Amino acid sequence: MAAQTTTPRFGANYVPSAGWFYSWLDYDGDAVRRDFADLAGMGLDHVRVFPVWPWIQPNRAIIRERAIADLLDTIDAAAEHGLTVAVDLIQGHLSSFDFLPSWMLTWHKSSVFEDRTVRDGLTAYVDTVARAVATKPNVFAITLGNEVNNLWPDSSTTPEASTAWAQELLATLKKAAPEVLALHSIFDDAWYASDHPFHPADAVDLGDLTTVHSWVFNGVSRVDGPLGPATLTHADYLIELARSLAPERPVWLQEVGVPGPDIPVELQAEFTRRTVSNVLTNPALYGVTWWSSHDIDRRLLDFPDREYDLGLFTVDHQRKPAAQALSELIADVRLNGVPQKTPVTTLTAPINLRTQPERRAEVAPGSEFHLQWVTARAAGPVRIASA
């Protein structure tokens, strides 16, 4: 079989082993370097890092230099371990918690997407942080924020407003960091939920490439269980939906992981091998970034139970089965390349996601079209053509 001429990126979404993202409040560069040694030892080439917006901009007029210095040290720590870095700006939403500054809450209650004052504050934040991190040669991408559409409906918006919000901030980002990929990250309600005010067109038209987040607890694991074909190909299905709207545009699988109880512990290594193997043959694939690098310490309270154990490593730096499986797969790909599987089947979607977002449920997990695609995918790669 012929091999792809380029090897996809492999990385991890960085969740600090000590103190989760609260560690930004009491920064420890030595702890960060210990975590990055774990990831470099797996053969990963990049990390995606998450500064927390209200801790950098606690007042609309204040952007804390010390917080930016800590972020820059994290980027330097990655470079010391041979890792490149993608920086997310607006957190925003992390592991089921939302982090918003007090200057847009309580009696200032505003929409992050619609309020002009908030957008002006965000513009200053995006410009300042992007300019700072772009000075580091190992920063390759900056994303507006992590699944920013999770902030709706608490922050009201419309499709028109959400698109304009992202366009405006991406323009600011691109001006501040013209040599770095500028990205817009949204979770999969934008692809599947008919009433969602963020549309698939936003994902494939805005920014320099498309990002998708594949989580099988969205209902797909109920279709056929933890190692069923629908579950194991969900990431590839999302990549294909994105590719169908923008065939020449790369797609970054920016989040994928092994959430319990959908994927039991004893099946997580197999899920990892087969899920990642299924996306590697997709020519649209830009890279795979695992969620997450490290578990969350169970002494921290009030997280959904599945969030605690998503790490490739435990909090005491023990490599877990998913990490071992991913590491072995990376080594094989770098040695042998990515085999191309043929023939390729093409299925035409029943809707055009770009022009008919109100019909998104017709391609959601468990829909007639999705199940048709899963059946065809069992015989080999399946391209989706837009209606």
Q: Is the pLDDT of residue 7 over 50?
A: yes
Contacts of 143 (CB under 8 A, 6+ apart): 48, 86, 87, 88, 89, 183, 184, 185, 211, 254
Contacts of 77 (CB under 8 A, 6+ apart): 29, 32, 33, 36
Average pLDDT over all residues of the chain: 96
Q: What's the CA angle centered on 328, arms 324 and 330, to 5 degrees?
A: 115
What is the pLDDT at residue 220? 96
**d(C-alpha 349, C-alpha 235), whole Å:** 17
Closest to 234 (Cα-Cα) out of 294, 226, 348, 320 = 226
CA 130 to chain centre: 18
Question: What pTM does this model have?
Answer: 0.97
What is the pLDDT at residue 94? 95
- Residue range 48-71: mean pLDDT, rounded: 98
Number of neighbours of residue 15 by Cβ within 10 angstroms: 25
Which two three-digit tokens encode residue 378?
A: 């069992």
Peptide bond before residue 153 is cis, with ω within 30 degrees of 0: yes
What domains are there in the chain, each with its CATH number? 9-340 (3.20.20.80)
Q: Would you place residue 343 in the very low, low, confident or very high pLDDT band (cuts 50, 70, 90)? A: confident
**d(C-alpha 10, C-alpha 25), whole Å:** 29
Q: How far apart are the first and last CA of the chain?
A: 32
What is the pLDDT at residue 346? 97
Secondary structure (H, E, C), the chain: CCECCCCCEEEEECCCCCCHHHHHHHCCHHHHHHHHHHHHHHCCCEEEECCCHHHHCCECCECCHHHHHHHHHHHHHHHHCCCEEEEEEECCEECCEECCCHHHCHHHCCCCCCCHHHHHHHHHHHHHHHHHHCCCCCEEEEEEECCHHHHCCCCCCCHHHHHHHHHHHHHHHHHHCCCCEEECCCCCHHHHCCCCCCCHHHHHHCCCCEEEEECHHHCCHHHHCCCCHHHHCHHHHHHHHHHHHCCCCCEEEEEECCCCCCCCHHHHHHHHHHHHHHHHCCCCEEEEEEECCECCCCCCCCCCHHHHHCCCECCCCCECHHHHHHHHHHHHHHHHCCECCCCCEEEECCCCCCCCHHHHHHHCCCCHHHHHHHHHHCCCCEEEECC
Q: If phi over 0 gives left and psi between -120 and 50 gives alpha, with beta otherwise, what is residue 181?
A: beta
What is the pLDDT at residue 198? 98
What is the pLDDT at residue 165? 98
Q: Would you place residue 342 in the very low, low, confident or very high pLDDT band (cuts 50, 70, 90)? A: confident
Task: Please state, for a pLDDT cut of 90, what percent of the chain lies above it.
Answer: 96
Closest to 205 (Cα-Cα) out of 175, 237, 183 = 183
Instruction: Out of 116-125, 141-150, 251-260, 339-348, pick the least confident.
Output: 339-348
Residue-wise pLDDT tens digits, 185-241: 999 999 999 999 999 999 999 999 999 999 999 999 999 999 999 999 999 999 999
Q: Would you place residue 3 in the very low, low, confident or very high pLDDT band (cuts 50, 70, 90)? A: very low
Burial 164-192 (b: 16+ CB within 10 A, else e): ebbeebbebbbebbeebbbbbbbbbbbbb
Q: Is the pLDDT of residue 259 over 50?
A: yes
For tokens 């922050």, the residue is 155
